[in-house]
Amino acid sequence: MSWSNLSLRYHLLAYCCFCLLYFLGFWMALIVLISFYILIVIVYRKKNCMQHLEDPCLENSFFSPVEGRIELIEQTKGGTILKLKTAWFMRGDIVMPINAEVSTFNHKPIVVDFITAAGNQFSMSITPNRWTRRIPFYLWPGDRARSRASIGFLLLGGEMLLKLSENYTIISEIGDRVNSGKTPLAIIE
């Protein structure tokens, strides 16, 4: 690919980067470029977070609680186990997958059991990366949360094990990329 085949915006971007390097020096230009990149990511994320609407057909959907990839889907006697892996650079919000109430909560490691109004049960087991010391989690036993509400934060990535009862039908596959609060993982029968 030759330089002339690139679009005008890439020429403009290269010219701006060159001017920053020439006039400000390497370290100052690096700080300006990183700040500009972070500003664009924040603006894009805010628009991206407001995309989903309240849709009645999604009422019985079980959404992904974290952003990442599905690594494992295993059928067991008691239901289904899903393993979600989150990279250190992904958004760390933990959201409520469905309207439910916390029935039990263990702090180390974090294991939270939930029960919905219809009596369906599921649990979350959260394992942070080795760099994370503490996971802020905002719910305690007896607390109720609505679907897609923020319930915690997984800083610098980690793994989440979801154990769903037999009432859930999995609609995702291994290797799928999931977004927290947007990608349906299962449907309640």
Domain residue ranges of the chain, discontinuous segments joined by +:
3-49, 56-188
- Ramachandran angles phi, psi of 13, nearest 5°: -65, -45
Tally of CA atoms within 13 A in the half-sphere of 152 that contains its CB: 25
Q: What is the DSSP letter of 32?
A: H
Q: Does residue 158 have a pLDDT over 80?
A: yes
Q: Under CATH, what is the fold of the domain 56-188?
A: Glucose Permease (Domain IIA) (2.70.70)
Question: Of 49, 68, 63, which is closest to residue 129 (Cα–Cα)?
Answer: 68
List the end-to-end C-alpha distance of the chain, in Å, as a whole number.
Answer: 52
Neighbours of 39 (CB within 10 A): 10
pTM over cut 0.85: no
Q: Does residue 53 have a pLDDT over 50?
A: no
Position with higher pLDDT, 5 vs 19: 19
Q: 3-state secondary structure string, 61-94?
A: EEECCCCEEEEEEEECCCCEEEEEEECCCCCCEE
Q: Does residue 178 have a pLDDT over 50?
A: yes
Sequence-distant (≥ 6) Cβ neighbours of residue 177 within 8 angstroms: 68, 69, 183
**One-letter amino acid identity for 141?**
P
